[in-house]
Structure 1
């Protein structure tokens, strides 16, 4: 079984009469923007699709611009956790620069999983998409870290 709990506001398409000049909608849209997702405790910058067939679960997670070396995948106590820890710094040795960027951050996304074969889990990363294949099993097992091909 694969558990996934999406968080979103109920009835987001319904307008309210007491909405003061559309401010509720403005702030809701503002914090749904991907830039501000790191400030929301309910949002994750990792967007994922989960598929199931008779033999396995397949998780496809969008991670554009992330290096494979910065991704971690762990399974522990029936929880699959995807993590990213990045630090990018542009070091240009020219004086008089007008604009310089540094970015760093870490984020995680977890899924409740049961009854998978921990030793047969496979992961690959291509074109910004992390794909994890979790073969089904009758009973759950201990923790294991998965390497990415």
Structure 2
């Protein structure tokens, strides 16, 4: 079994610094409406970034392995936050956007499908508490 260790240190007021196993750091801060200073990511937004990053890394790896031509690739993540405390995301939409002049749409869709059905562990965690919708868009440039 693999374990991960993340150290999160209070930096004062409403700011924390979190260090991942490779030593990289990220700032976490509350919004100004909650006493923060607006620096760093909010914890829930970081969850959405983790979701997109996990699946995005899968897809980027498959783009390279399949030797596909993609000029630009981005993931828009939209989530519904519940009204009652504790507030959490109960529905999430992942929108994969590929741009290029020579897009192989079937292969790119296969890369997305492999990520969301087999490889992305963060997406599997999200499925435990939220409905997840995935859409793929191809933009010719």
The TM-score, its normalising length taken from structure 2, stands at 0.31
Q: Does 1 or 2 have the higher relative contact order (CA < 8 Å, sep 6+)?
A: 1
Q: Which has the higher strand share?
A: 1
More helix by proportion, 1 or 2? Answer: 2
Give the TM-score of the pair, scaled to structure 1: 0.30
Larger Rg, first or second structure (1 or 2): 1
